[in-house]
């Protein structure tokens, strides 16, 4: 019992940064922009988030620092890819390289420092319930926020007019422009939202996952988030499945290695990727038709005036 | 004011005294760098009027309506709405004033539903539910049936246009702009559209109708304004003009008549397609279903049909861009070629001109000589032992330039720097100069000015006279009637049996384009889809 509970808790903790970053990227890509700089925005968010928390002693302010850092990074991307119509792939890759360098610089003074990590919810009675108590009522604020956020994004995309307009920009920017929608402004907001989410996802790592900062601590999570968006065929529901599945297999294979299963550890380490790809491919095979990717994804738009 | 005076004279019934026009442009000018897209254009549009805007590609029609719809800001001049000068900040302001627009290249979103597409064209003041209810009501009232829940990619071109029209009508516009609405319709669908337009006119609305189909304009429109080279040439009553006189005003001179050489003889079959079926390569592609035809030397076969019924797929299968498992499905010069690559087919004597000039027919940023090499490397002696014979490539450019009157700024410019008509002349010329036994050409005069179109059509006729087999895919029925010996129709990946051009009336072709067969029983209740 104790073990199962511990595993579920670890799964949630491992999945939350993926879910946060992927939620932001999903919105960005739905508007038709491919920002490959998630990893870079995350790692800068991690450095600034830790710095903010270490300086002020407040996890909340740390998280805000992380968000602001992610937004600033995404604005660099928006200026290049949207304002100057530079190739989005190249700009995104450059943003990641910039972010890794920048985070090392920002975080240099914090390496080796520790903070008190984010507190977990405690409701007497509820949290003490066996098995599900701590899973449902004993998480930190990031976990609850990430779930609320993806539900909010789903509602925004499919139930609001603004969400419809954003999807329209991602499907056909020429048409959206012809109907009088400010394509570049809408995309800039979407990119900024993606930056905010990536920054928060990065900040989660030193603020809640491990209470210290080390350079390169995002360890490729930004890339996994990007892949999750693609394999979820840009749908919020599938994104949740993919993110938690990836987290789950990551934790389970660690435990399995600990139990001494006779399978090479390299193969076990590859399992999360394999399992996520297989499940999401099976899910998307049941699609109804139409193209799954936003049709204008990654294409440059320059309005004629 | 002179223009206004002319209007009074030329408008039927000579009404309008004392009123002001619904919409007026005064000296409207739009400048792109040194280029004057619109040069001081005056136009008056009155209620209850269908006003044609005529002109060749590049005459400035699109620029003018974009300015009227608020998509671009004029560099100089004024727009007046019901007598008051206005400055439009954007399309949503135009819409709120009562100006609606139906675009030529539809402004639709393929992966959204019909209702969502309509909602995006409105200002969002009503709830989605109310809007959907109103959508059904408007589509019923005007006889434009639509299922609001379907996604656009599932719909035919005619249905897509209905969405555009219903979307515009839901704003209850006083003034509606239609940009080449019949370019993509079957003749029957066009007739249905005209009924809707007449009804809108009777309701007191004004319509600006952009077209270059002169017969249509004569039939439908009360007034016509003709543009040429960014300037207004004249405003007239099209019913008092002939198609020839309108064409003269559009082009600014006589158009050479295309003539087929007398006594063209057909020889042996040079291109044979046997029961060709091919699965689509893209998500929304069309499956080719059991296509068979035989094309002899000296003959031109036309393939008509609404765009997106498998013409692109057929072109890819014939050119070798897509291979067929069974070599016998495509036979070129008596040799089974279904499994052969595009280069191997060229070596057999075939040549191909795709629909899209930039990006498919030519590499836009490469020089013409390099583009000549791209299709001529295999069979035209431009490559020796793996090395490019630059002189030979340049010579090809010069010959194409001379023979087909390609106008360009220098000897060997980039493909993208040529105008559409001149580039098309170059591409067709490049292939014809290789003396092909078989020429497959798709939309040879799409978006090409009338002068260049005449040159290209004549070249195709001459090529057939010289003994080649020519396959022309076109959406322009007039063009096919002019040059083809037989016409077949593509619908949903099927190819009809070819009709002799003399028998191929617009009605028959229209029925086939809408998916009906020519059996009398079915033809009685079959129109468009």
Contacts of B116 in chain A (CB under 8 A): 164, 168
Q: Residue A150 has what pLDDT?
A: 96
Please name the residue of chain B whose CA is at the shortest distance from the CA of residue A176.
B107
Which pLDDT score is estimated for B261? 67
Quick check: B524 pLDDT over 70?
A: no
Q: In 3D, which of B272, B308, B275, B315 has the Cα closest to residue B291?
A: B275
Say if residues A48 and A199 touch (Cβ distance below 8 Å).
yes
The helix (run of H) or strand (run of E) holding residue B175 is strand B175-179
> Across chain B, what does the average pLDDT equal?
86
Long-range contacts of B39-43 (CB under 8 A, 24+ apart): B39/B229, B39/B230, B39/B231, B40/B76, B40/B77, B40/B231, B41/B77, B41/B227, B41/B231, B41/B232, B42/B3, B42/B4, B42/B232, B43/B3, B43/B225, B43/B232, B43/B235
Tens-place pLDDT, residues B391-435:
999 999 999 999 888 888 888 998 888 877 889 999 999 999 889
Q: Give every CB contact of residue A282 below 8 A, 6+ residues apart in sequence.
A: none
Q: Quick check: B457 pLDDT over 80?
A: yes
> Which residue, among B32, B69, B120, B124, would best test binding to A if mutated, counting the most A CBs under 10 Å from its CB?
B120
Answer yes or no: do B106 and A179 touch at CB < 8 A.
Answer: no
In this predicted structure, the answer to whether residue B188 has a pLDDT above a threshold of 60 is: yes
- How far CA B99 is from CA of A86, B60, B205, B206, in Å, comes to 35, 19, 10, 10
Residue-level pLDDT at A243: 93
Mean pLDDT: which of A29-43, B65-79, B205-219, B384-398 is highest?
A: A29-43
Contact A289 B107 (CB under 8 A): no
At residue B3 the predicted structure's pLDDT band, cuts being 50, 70 and 90, is very low
pLDDT at B409: 80
The token pair that represents B244 in the structure block: 């020839």
How much of chain B exceeds pLDDT 90, in percent?
45
Nearest to A217 by CA among A66, A15, A42: A42
Question: Which residue from A172, A180, A289 is facing B109, i.e. has the nearest CB?
Answer: A172
Residue A287's pLDDT is what? 54
Distance from the Cα of A218 to chain B's closest Cα (Å) equals 35
Report residue B414 as tokens. 């980039």
Give pLDDT, residue A142.
93
Distance CA B510, CA B222 (A): 26
Dihedral sign, CA of B301, B305, B307, B311?
negative
**Using a CB-CB distance cutoff of 8 angstroms, which residues of chain A are in contact with residue B99?**
none
Distance CA B211, CA B224 (A): 10
Percent of chain B at pLDDT exceeding 70: 93
Render pLDDT for B231-240 as a digit per residue (tens, 0 to 9): 999 999 999 9
Query: Which residue reads 């023979």 in tokens?
Result: B403
Interface probe, candidates B33, B90, B108, B111, chain A, greatest A C-beta count within 10 A? B111
Per the listing, tokens 């608020």 go with: B70
pLDDT for A250 equals 87
In which band, very low, low, confident or very high, does the pLDDT at B529 lie, cut at 50, 70 and 90?
very low
Residue A5 or B81, more confident: B81
Dist CA B252 CA A132 (whole Å)? 83
Specify the pLDDT at position B522: 43
List of chain B residues whose C-beta atoms are within 8 Å of the C-beta of residue A167: 109, 112
DSSP character at residue B279: -
Provide CB contacts within 8 A for B110, sequence distance 6+. Answer: A171, A172, A290, A291, A295, B151, B152, B153, B284
Burial class (CB in 10 A: 0-12, 13-18, 19+), B497: exposed
Buried b or exposed e, range A113-124, using 16+ CB within 10 angstroms: eebebbeeeeee
Average of per-residue pLDDT across B173-189: 86
CB A226 within 8 A of CB A42: no
Place of tokens 């209620």: B47
C-alpha A40 chain-centroid distance: 12
CA B31 to chain centre: 26
Of B103, B105, B120, which has the smallest distance from its Cβ to A165's Cβ?
B120
Q: Is B81 helix (H, G, I), strand (E, B) or coil?
A: strand
B255 vs B241: CA distance, rounded Å:
17
Cβ of B120 and A304 within 8 Å? no
Q: Which residues of A touch B (CB under 8 A)?
A: 161, 164-165, 167-168, 171-172, 174-176, 178-181, 289-291, 294-295, 304-305
Q: What is the pLDDT of residue B464?
A: 93
Q: Which residue of A has its CA nearest to B88?
A: A180
pLDDT at B526: 41
Instruction: Answer yes or no: do B151 and A290 touch at CB < 8 A.
Output: yes
d(CA B472, CA B475): 10
pLDDT band at B263 (very low <50, low <70, confident <90, very high): low
Supply the DSSP symbol for B355: S
Which has more confidence, A269 or B467?
Answer: B467
Quick one: three-class SS letters along A35-94? CCCHHHHHHHHHHHHHHHHHHHCCHHHHHHHHHHHHHHHHHHHHHHHHHCCCCHHHHHHH
Domains of chain B are 1-98+173-248 (3.40.50.300), 107-167 (no CATH), 269-523 (3.40.50.300)
For residue A290, give the nearest of B95, B107, B153 by CB distance. B153
Interface test with B, best of A179, A233, A285 (most B CBs within 10 A): A179
Q: What is the pLDDT of residue B521?
A: 44
Q: Looking at A283-287, B199-203, B267-271, which range is the least confident one?
A: A283-287
Partner-chain residue, chosen from A178, A290, A295, that has the shortest CB–CB distance to B107? A178
Positions of chain A with pLDDT lower than 70, given as ranges: 1, 284-291, 304-305
* pLDDT tops 50 at residue B281: yes
- Give the 3-state DSSP-derived string for chain A, with helices as H, strands as E and coil as C: CHHHHHHHHHHHHHHHHHHHHHHHHHHHHHCCCCCCCHHHHHHHHHHHHHHHHHHHCCHHHHHHHHHHHHHHHHHHHHHHHHHCCCCHHHHHHHHHHHHHHHHHHHHCCCCCCCCCCCCECCCCCCCCCCCHHHHHHCCEHHHHHHHHHHHHHHHHHHHCHHHHHHHHHHHCHHHHHHCCCCHHHHHHHHHHHHHHHHHHHHHHHHHHHCCCCCCCCCCCHHHHHHHHHHHCCCCHHHHHHHHHHHHHHHHHHHHHHHHCCCCCHHHHHHHHHHHHHHHHHHHHHCCCCCCCCCCCCCCCCCCCC
Q: How many CB atoms lie within 10 A of CB B213?
A: 18
**Cα B16 from Cα B13, distance rounded (Å):** 9
The predicted structure's pLDDT at residue B205: 93
The answer to whether the Cβ–Cβ distance between A295 and B111 falls below 8 Å is yes
Q: Of B91, B128, B151, which is closest to A180 when you measure between CB atoms? A: B91
**SS3 assignment, position B298:** coil
Residue B275, pLDDT above cutoff 80: yes
Burial class of residue A163, CB neighbours in 10 A (0-12, 13-18, 19+): middle
């Amino acid at each position: 019992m104790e073990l199962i509970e511990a595993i579920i808790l670890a799964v949630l903790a491992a999945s939350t940064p993926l879910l946060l970053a992927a939620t932001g990227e999903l919105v960005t890509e739905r508007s038709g922009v491919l920002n490959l700089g998630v990893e870079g925005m995350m790692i800068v968010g991690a450095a600034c988030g830790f710095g903010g928390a270490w300086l002020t002693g407040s996890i909340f302010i740390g998280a805000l620092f992380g968000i602001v850092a992610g937004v600033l990074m995404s604005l660099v991307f928006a200026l290049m890819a949207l304002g100057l119509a530079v190739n989005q792939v190249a700009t995104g890759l450059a943003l990641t390289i910039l972010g890794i360098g920048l985070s090392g610089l920002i975080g240099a003074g914090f390496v080796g420092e520790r903070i008190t990590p984010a507190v977990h919810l405690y409701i007497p009675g509820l949290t003490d319930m066996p098995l599900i108590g701590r899973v449902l009522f004993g998480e930190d604020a990031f976990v609850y926020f990430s779930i609320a956020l993806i539900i909010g994004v789903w509602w925004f995309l499919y139930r609001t007019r603004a969400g419809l307009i954003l999807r329209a920009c991602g499907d056909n920017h020429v048409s959206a422009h012809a109907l009088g929608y400010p394509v570049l402004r809408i995309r800039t907001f979407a990119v900024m939202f993606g930056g905010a989410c990536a920054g928060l996802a990065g900040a989660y790592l030193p603020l809640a996952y491990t209470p210290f900062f080390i350079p390169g601590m995002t360890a490729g999570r930004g890339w996994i988030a990007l892949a999750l968006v693609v394999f979820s065929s840009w749908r919020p529901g599938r994104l949740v499945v993919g993110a938690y599945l990836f987290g789950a297999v990551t934790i389970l294979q660690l435990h399995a290695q600990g139990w001494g299963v006779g399978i090479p550890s390299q193969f076990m380490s590859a399992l999360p990727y394999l399992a996520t790809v297989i499940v999401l491919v099976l899910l998307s095979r049941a699609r109804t038709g139409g193209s799954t990717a936003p049709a204008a994804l990654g294409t440059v738009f320059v309005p004629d005036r | 004011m002179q223009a206004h005076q002319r209007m009074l004279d030329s408008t039927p019934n000579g009404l309008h005294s004392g009123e002001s026009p619904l919409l007026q442009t005064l000296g409207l000018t739009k400048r792109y760098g040194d280029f004057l897209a619109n040069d001081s254009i005056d136009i008056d549009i009155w209620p209850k009027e269908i006003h044609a805007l005529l002109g060749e590609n590049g005459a400035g029609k699109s620029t003018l309506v974009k300015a009227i719809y608020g998509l671009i800001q004029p560099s100089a001049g004024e727009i007046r709405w019901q007598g008051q000068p206005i400055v439009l900040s954007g399309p949503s302001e135009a819409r709120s004033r009562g100006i609606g627009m139906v675009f030529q290249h539809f402004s639709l979103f393929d992966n959204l539903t019909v209702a969502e597409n309509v909602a995006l064209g409105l200002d969002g003041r009503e709830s989605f539910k109310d809007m959907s209810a109103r959508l059904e009501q408007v589509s019923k009232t005007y006889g434009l049936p639509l299922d609001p829940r379907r996604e656009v990619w599932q719909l035919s071109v005619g249905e897509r246009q209905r969405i555009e029209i219903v979307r515009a009508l839901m704003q209850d516009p006083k003034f509606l702009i239609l940009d080449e609405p019949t370019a993509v319709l079957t003749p029957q669908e066009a007739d249905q559209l005209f009924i809707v337009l007449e009804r809108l006119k009777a309701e007191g609305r004004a319509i600006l109708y952009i077209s270059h189909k002169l017969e249509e304009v004569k039939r439908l429109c009360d007034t016509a304004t003709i543009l040429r080279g960014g300037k207004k040439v004249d405003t007239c009553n099209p019913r008092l003009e002939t198609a020839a006189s309108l064409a003269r005003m559009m082009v600014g001179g006589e158009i050479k008549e295309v003539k087929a050489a007398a006594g063209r003889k057909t020889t042996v079959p040079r291109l044979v397609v046997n029961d060709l079926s091919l699965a689509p390569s893209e998500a929304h592609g069309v499956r080719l279903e059991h296509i068979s035809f035989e094309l002899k030397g000296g003959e031109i076969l036309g393939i008509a049909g609404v765009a997106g019924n498998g013409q692109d797929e057929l072109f890819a299968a014939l050119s070798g861009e897509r291979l067929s498992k069974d070599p016998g499905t495509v036979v070129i010069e008596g040799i089974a070629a279904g499994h052969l690559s595009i280069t191997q087919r060229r070596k057999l004597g075939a040549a191909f001109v795709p629909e899209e000039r930039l990006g498919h027919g030519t590499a836009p940023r490469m020089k013409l000589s390099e583009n000549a090499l791209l299709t001529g490397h295999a069979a035209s002696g431009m490559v020796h032992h793996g090395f490019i014979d630059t002189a030979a490539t340049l010579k090809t450019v010069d010959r194409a330039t001379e023979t087909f009157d390609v106008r360009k700024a220098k000897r060997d410019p980039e493909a993208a720097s040529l105008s559409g008509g001149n580039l098309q002349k170059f591409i067709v010329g490049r292939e014809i100069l290789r003396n092909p036994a078989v020429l497959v050409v798709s939309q040879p005069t799409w978006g090409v000015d009338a002068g260049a179109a005449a040159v290209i059509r004549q070249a195709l006729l001459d090529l057939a006279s010289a003994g080649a087999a020519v396959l022309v895919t076109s959406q322009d029925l007039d063009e096919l009637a002019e040059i083809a010996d037989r016409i077949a129709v593509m619908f949903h990946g099927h190819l009809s049996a070819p009709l002799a051009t003399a028998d191929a009336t617009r009605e028959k072709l229209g029925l086939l384009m809408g998916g009906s067969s020519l059996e009398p029983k079915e033809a009685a209740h079959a129109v468009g889809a």
